Amino acid sequence: MDIKKKVTQTIFNVAHVKGKLGLSDILANLDIEVSRQYITSILKDLVQKGELIRSGGGRFTEYALPRDADLLRNRTHIRLKNVNLQEHEILDRIQKQTPFLGKLTENVLSIFTFAFSEMLNNAIEHSLSSEIDIEVIKENNNLKFTISDSGIGVFRNIMKKRGLKSELEAIQDLLKGKTTTAPQAHSGEGIFFTSKAADIFVLDSFEYRLRIDNLINDVFVEDIKPAKKGTRVTFTISVESGKHLSDVFAKYQTDSEEMAFDKTEIRIKLYAMGTIYVSRSQARRVTVNLSKFKVIILDFDKVPTIGQAFADEIFRVFQSKHPDIVIKPINMNETVKFMIDRVEKP
């Protein structure tokens, strides 16, 4: 038997016995001396032929027969120098190292592919970070990925580029959609739609955390200590999710034929001064950059009351300047509804 056949046979023998194996397992079962590079080349060939499944990278690389793919680790972690990176090439690498991705339903895989590519592109092009850290993991029934950098920070970047007063104002703008620091190259829709497609979406950057929990339909802005230098995005979705990416897009389109992102939803509770929503200036913060939408849904959930000036600025002043925009208030209590109804509409 020649050397290649002997090594190949040993690989299959070990795979049948152990279920999964690494390079050290093969070396321990060979009675001839061959180099690690030679064994690796044979393993690579078997993977390309589909006779073995590969998981992980570097010293954490594991192999298994296709029937035993579930035995492979459900975690892939890579750290990359942010030089000439292409998100599609990295996604391809991740998929090759993460066998469970190949078992996802089409709808969940399409959401993962979209979200991962969008968030990685943001890190590559906007973070100004020298390195990017990526982890993809399956925990119980959840698929989760984390993309972390040590760059400028998403909230600070938006604050600086848009001339805002605080990172909290940047978070408010981000939640509207169509917020980008590079309008010539990007539409600003990536984070918005990624956050809507997730079960749970988290952005950590310096002192602030934005947590969007679509399982309970709520948004949280929190202080974090210690601060996270740069940005860390964490995306979680159930592997059994029934969501479809097309439905996520359609929810924010007024005309499915045009395929335009022209509808947004604003949570008024995020614009509070304490727990009070009274001033005209607060209302102007709500309406900043909303003229690009055709339909604006204002969610008053957990808002106890609003002032006359606040209501007037949105429902008379802004509406009179943009008569073609439809404003739909929802989740109002009786007090809020009364204040909105008494505004003299244009």
Say yes or no: 31 and 165 in one domain: no
Give the pLDDT of residue 204: 97
The dihedral sign for the CA sequence 268, 269, 273, 278: positive
Give the pLDDT of residue 216: 94
Q: What residues make up the domain containing 297? A: 255-341
Tell me which H or E stretch contains 196. helix 190-197
Give the pLDDT of residue 184: 42
Give the pLDDT of residue 104: 92
d(CA 79, CA 270): 35
d(CA 177, CA 288): 12
Say yes or no: 80 and 229 in one domain: yes
Say yes or no: 263 and 213 in one domain: no
Say yes or no: 269 and 241 in one domain: no
Say yes or no: 195 and 176 in one domain: yes
Whether residue 278 lies inside any domain: the answer is: yes
Whether residue 198 lies inside any domain: the answer is: yes
Give the pLDDT of residue 275: 60
Whether residue 324 lies inside any domain: the answer is: yes
The tens place of each residue's pLDDT in the chain, 346 residues long, gives 689 999 999 999 999 999 888 999 999 998 888 899 999 999 989 988 888 888 877 777 889 888 887 777 788 888 999 999 988 889 988 888 788 898 899 999 999 999 999 999 999 988 999 999 999 998 889 999 999 999 999 999 999 988 999 999 999 989 988 655 454 444 357 898 899 999 999 999 999 999 999 999 999 999 998 889 999 999 999 999 999 988 888 888 766 655 567 889 999 988 876 666 778 888 998 998 899 899 999 999 988 888 888 999 999 999 999 999 999 999 999 989 989 998 877 6
Q: How many residues does the chain have?
A: 346
Give the pLDDT of residue 273: 61
Name the domain count of the chain.
Answer: 3
Q: Pick from 33, 68, 103: which residue ends a domain?
A: 68
Whether residue 170 lies inside any domain: the answer is: yes
Give the pLDDT of residue 115: 93
Say yes or no: 240 and 130 in one domain: yes
Give the pLDDT of residue 219: 93
Say yes or no: 324 and 210 in one domain: no
Q: How far is C-alpha 193 from the geometric centre of its chain's CA atoms?
A: 9
Read off the DSSP letter of residue 255.
-
Say yes or no: 19 and 150 in one domain: no
d(CA 278, CA 40): 67
Q: How far apart are the first and last CA of the chain?
A: 90
d(CA 169, CA 314): 18
pTM, two decimals, is 0.74
Q: Pick from 246, 271, 303: which residue ends a domain?
A: 246
Say yes or no: 149 and 227 in one domain: yes
Give the pLDDT of residue 71: 78
Say yes or no: 326 and 282 in one domain: yes
User: Which residues are bridge partners to 135 per DSSP?
Assistant: 77, 146
d(CA 55, CA 115): 22
Say yes or no: 213 and 294 in one domain: no
Give the pLDDT of residue 186: 43
Locate 185 and state its tokens: 């190259």
Whether residue 346 lies inside any domain: the answer is: no
The phi, psi pair for 213, rounded to 5°, reads: -105, 100
Kindly report the CATH number assigned to the domain that includes residue 38. 1.10.10.10
Say yes or no: 226 and 261 in one domain: no
